[in-house]
Amino acid sequence: MTSLLHTRAVHAGRDDLADLGLHAAPIDFSTTYPSRDSAEEARRIDAFAAGEDVTGIYGRIGNPTVERFEQALAELEGFDHAVAFASGMAAVSACLLSAVMQGKPHIVGVRPLYGGTDHLLTTGLLGTEVTWTAAEDVAGALRPDTGLVFVESPANPTLSELDLAALAETCGAVPVLADNTFATPVLQRPGQHGAQLVLHSATKFLGGHGDVMGGVVACGAEEAARLRGLRFATGGVLHPLAGYLLLRGLSTLPLRVKAASATAAGLVERLATHPAVHAVHYPKLGGPLVSFAVTGDPHAVIGAVRLITPAVSLGSVDTLIQHPASLTHRMVAEDDRTGSGITGGLLRLSVGLEDIEDLWLDLDQALKSC
C-alpha cells in the first residue's frame, strides 16, 4: 500500500469519474431528493435504520460528494468505511455517544489529548466517565463498561508517541480510538497496529489549506453504521462543499506532508542549538509538527513572528505557531496541563510549505526578541 500511496491519494474516491465523462468530482448541493415512490423511500429508510449506507433521501442521511471523501479517506487509512462530520469535535462527540449507546460509557484516556477532547471527556458532557492513565497502565484501567481507549500519537502538543500495537493488544476486545490528525495516513496508519477507530480533524492536514472544517472516522462496518445513525440523529453533517474540498486536499496530502516534514526536520536541527531554546520535541515518526520550549517569554515570540502565522490550528500550507497553554490547551486545568508536559514555555510550530531559509530567518529573529 505504501508504494501506492501517492496514486491512491490522487485517485481514491474518483475512480468512476472518467466513465461519467467528468474530470472534477461533482458537487451535489441537494438537501432533499425527490421521489414519486413513497413505498420505495420507506424501504430505503428502513435499510438506513438497519445500518446500510444510503444516499439520495435527505441531506442529513448521506451526500454523494461527501461519500467520495469518505471512501477515499477510508482507503488511505486501510479501512472499508469512514464517516465524515462537520468538524473534528463532531467526530469525537459521535464516537463518545456511540460508546454510551452501547452501554459502555467508561472511556480510558491517555494524556495529552487535544484540548477540546480532554475538556469533553473531563466534563463528561455526553454521559461518559473518564479514567486518565499513562499508556503503560491502560490494562489496569479497563472495566467491563469501558467503551473506548482514546489516544493520540504523536500527541498534541508535546508530540509524545506511544506503541499503538502494544496498546491494542493490551486492550483486547476494547476498541482503541487513535486520533491520527498529526501523523496522517502518510506517516502512520493506526489500523495496521490494531486501532479499530481512526479519527481526524480533517480541518488540519486533510484539507490542508486552512479553509475548510471537517472531521472523519475510519472504522469497520458495524461502527460506521452506528456513527451514520448518530450523525443523522444529532445533525453534525459535513457540508458537500467541504466534502469536495477535503477530497481535493487528499490528492496532495502525501506531497504536502512529506515536504513539510523535511523542512520541519531541518528546523529541529537549528532549534536544538539555538540559545533561546531549551528543549525541542520531535516525533521519531517525523512529521510537520515541532514543539519547543523557550527560556524567555513565549508570548514575545508569538508577537514577533512576521512570515509565520501566529494562529491556533495546524496542517495548512503556511507555517503556524501557537502557545498551547494559552490556546489549544487553555481548557485543560493547569495541573493536568503541566503534568502531561504542556509547560508555560512550550510553543507549537506547524510547518508549512515555505522555504526553510525564510522560516528560519523569521524564527531566529522572533526568538531573539524573547
Ligand X SMILES: *Cc1c(COP(=O)(O)O)cnc(C)c1O
60 is catalytic: yes
User: Nearer to ligand X by C-beta: 245 or 367?
Assistant: 245
Which span (41-49, 196-204, 250-258, 277-285) binds ligand X, by CB under 6 A?
Answer: 196-204
Helices 88-101, 115-123: crossing angle, 10 deg rounding: 30
Which span (198-206, 224-232, 254-262, 268-276) binds ligand X, by CB under 6 A?
Answer: 198-206
Which span (82-90, 103-111, 120-128, 246-254) binds ligand X, by CB under 6 A?
Answer: 82-90
- 3-state secondary structure at position 7: helix
Contact by Cβ (8 Å): 63, 25: no
User: Nearer to ligand X by C-beta: 158 or 251?
Assistant: 158
Which span (3-11, 30-38, 200-208, 316-324) binds ligand X, by CB under 6 A?
Answer: 200-208
CB of 51 to ligand X, least distance (A): 26
CB of 219 to ligand X, least distance (A): 16
Count Cβ atoms within 10 A of the Cβ of residue 113 and give its class: 0-12 exposed, 13-18 middle, 19 or more buried.
buried
Q: What is the b/e burial string over 66-84, where b = at least 16 CB atoms within 10 angstroms of the residue's CB?
A: bbbbbbbbbbbbebebbbb
231 is catalytic: no
- Residue 260's nearest CA partner among 183, 370, 189 is 183
Helices 221-234, 88-101: crossing angle, 10 deg rounding: 110
Does residue 319 touch ligand X according to CB under 6 A?
A: no
For residue 199 the three cell numbers come to 479519527
Binding to ligand X, residues 93-132 (CB under 6 A): 114, 116-117
244 is catalytic: no
Could you identify the residue written with the cell 474540498? 245
For residue 82 the three cell numbers come to 469512514
33 is catalytic: no
Among 67, 179, 223, 362, binds ligand X (CB under 6 A): 179
CB of 241 to ligand X, least distance (A): 16
Does residue 88 touch ligand X according to CB under 6 A?
A: yes
Which strands form 215-219's sheet, in the order they lie side by side? 81-85, 215-219, 197-201, 176-179, 146-152, 106-109, 129-132
Does residue 291 touch ligand X according to CB under 6 A?
A: no
Residue type present at position 170: T
Does residue 322 touch ligand X according to CB under 6 A?
A: no
Size of the site for ligand X (CB under 6 A): 15
Q: 356 forms bridges with which residues in the sheet?
A: none
Among 208, 215, 229, 286, binds ligand X (CB under 6 A): 215
Among 95, 151, 213, 242, binds ligand X (CB under 6 A): 213
Among 54, 76, 84, 89, binds ligand X (CB under 6 A): 89
Does residue 181 touch ligand X according to CB under 6 A?
A: yes
Binding to ligand X, residues 226-285 (CB under 6 A): none
81-85 and 215-219 beta bridge pairing: antiparallel
Contact by Cβ (8 Å): 364, 305: no
- Closest residue (Cβ) to ligand X? 88
Contact by Cβ (8 Å): 88, 201: yes
Contact by Cβ (8 Å): 149, 167: yes
C-alpha to C-alpha distances, 12 to 247, 292, 330, nearest whole angstrom = 9, 36, 38
CB of 351 to ligand X, least distance (A): 15
> Distance between CA atoms of 232 and 187, rounded to whole angstroms?
32
CB of 130 to ligand X, least distance (A): 16
- Residue 323's nearest CA partner among 92, 115, 110 is 115
Does residue 323 touch ligand X according to CB under 6 A?
A: no
Which span (86-94, 143-151, 252-260, 275-283) binds ligand X, by CB under 6 A?
Answer: 86-94
Among 70, 77, 152, 223, binds ligand X (CB under 6 A): 152
Residues known to be catalytic: 60, 114, 179, 204
Q: Which residues bind ligand X (CB under 6 A)?
A: 87-89, 114, 116-117, 152, 156, 179, 181, 201, 203-204, 213, 215
